[in-house]
Structure 1
């Protein structure tokens, strides 16, 4: 995910176009006013996903279980289950 930088002035004059780029192209736009003053614009769904991921990884036990599951999947240690029983 690359971040494109635009100035505050550019964002101010082209807000609608930048807003559409963020939504349609899933671009991350960094808007800066001065070298140490800026914000980041990104799609709200992507932001929610990032926050959820951070939450899930913030608990060491949960993080380890997730990483273990990823490792098992990469090693082909998977099995299919019938999920219908869990949906009723």
Structure 2
């Protein structure tokens, strides 16, 4: 839990939106696969691939493509998604 308590370093903050875009696309793929919707799944896979490419490029351009940097971004994105989900009324 200590990973969640430390804020995202300033140098990684601009990359969070790229990571979030990838994570959202990945979740959309999972939902489409679970629903058995092949057309939507194919669209989601294309979006996920585009998001992954953009994330990799942005991280490389920022010099933040090490495993620790990727892990910090992943944890921050998952925390942000969890917060979004908790804030969404059912």
**Would you say same fold, with TM above 0.5?**
no
| TM-score, normalised with respect to structure 2 | 0.28
Greater relative contact order (CA < 8 Å, ≥ 6 in sequence): 2
Q: Which has the higher helix share?
A: 2
| TM-score, normalised with respect to structure 1 | 0.29
